[in-house]
Structure 1
Amino acid sequence: MIKRIVVELPVHVKKYFMFEFDGYQKKNGTDQIHVDKHSDLGELIHLLSQPILYTQKPVVSSGKSTLSIEYYTHVQALDISHQKLPQLAKYMEKMFRRSLINEVQGTYELVGCDYGPLVSRFLEKRGIIRDVDIDYQTARKIFRDHIAKKVRKSAKMYA
């Protein structure tokens, strides 16, 4: 059975998932992705699903930063409660951050150049408009904080 959930996300996270899962815009204007159950997001949705024995009122996409996620489940009673949707959105933002760190870190360690253009390339590749969808300094800060954390961790090892 194919089920749908609607999640309210920041614009940059929505564009990231639209790129990663080959999202499309339906005729009514809602952006939608189909998630395979063997992907990271699909496994997360499966873990958040629980038996809900009553009918939930369906969430309608209200703004331009909502994303409709379509997934398959073979048990009809399994669904994600509306109270869990903010947690799902929070974890989806963590997935965006982790992806940015992994991609930028791979090139940064190989080349050793400034990471600013690498962050810009990550955003451009996914159609995220710099300083409109996400502040450029915020995106740089994600990787800068990761570097600072690694430096603190290595300082502890040698102290």
Structure 2
Amino acid sequence: MQHGTRSNGIAHTVGGFASAAAAEGGPDLWEQMYRLNVLTTLNIFRAALPPMCAAGRGSLLAIGAGAAVKAPSGLGAYAGAKSAVHRLVESFADELKADRIRVNAILPSIIDTPQNRAAMPDADHTAWVRPREIADAIAFLLAEDASGVTGAFIPVSGRV
């Protein structure tokens, strides 16, 4: 985002993760995942739109999830919420393409963070996606070089 009142692009990186078997995760977990992932995407996209519409161009980017394409065991609520984020990206992309506002998502796999390392100490961390790799994908999709890309879901999966 640039300084001042004009916004050329924004990457929405707010979200949350939790795991539980689909048959065991209660309504509170599903609601939490929905609020953290879907409603934050909707609210941030809506807040970013007025200056982009005024400028006649812009780029919105969400963090989706590879798990939303094919949900693994134990991630039903998370995958369901991220699937809804994907549908928001599709809807916004279709609605805003005539306004020259691009809307895309990247789909990371396991991100190499201290929290994930602590939660999975025996995993092969070298296969995980480095935050820098995600940042590079975000920078590309927000840049003018990607002006022809909208409604795309770009996997950033490392070697997972």
TM-score, normalised by the number of residues in structure 1: 0.27
Q: Which has the higher contact order (CA 8 A, sep 6+)?
A: 1
- Which one has a bigger Cα radius of gyration? 1
TM-score, normalised by the number of residues in structure 2: 0.27
